[in-house]
Amino acid sequence: MRRQAWPQRRRHATTAQRANGEIAIVNYDRCSYCGACVPVCPPDCITLHDATWQIAEDLCTGCRRCVLVCPTAALNMRTRVAA
Q: How many domains does the chain divide into?
A: 1
Q: How confident is the model at residue 69 (pLDDT cuts 50, 70, 90)?
A: very high
How far is Cα 13 from Cα 17, in angstroms, rounded to an integer?
Answer: 6
pLDDT at res. 16:
42
Q: What is the pTM of this model?
A: 0.69
Residue at 2 is within a domain: no
Residues 6 or more apart in contact with residue 18 via CB below 8 angstroms: 60, 61, 62, 80
pLDDT tens-digit readout, 7-60: 444 444 444 445 568 999 999 999 999 999 999 998 889 998 888 889 988 889
Give mean pLDDT, residues 64-76.
93
In a domain, 11, yes or no: no
Is a pLDDT exceeding 80 seen at residue 6? no
Domain of 33, CATH number, reads 3.30.70.20
Structural domain of 60: 22-79
How far apart CA 58 and CA 45 sit, in angstroms, is 8
Q: How far apart are CA 39 and CA 78, in angstroms?
A: 21
Q: What's residue 44's pLDDT? A: 86
CB 63 within 8 A of CB 37: no
Establish if 8 belongs to a structural domain: no
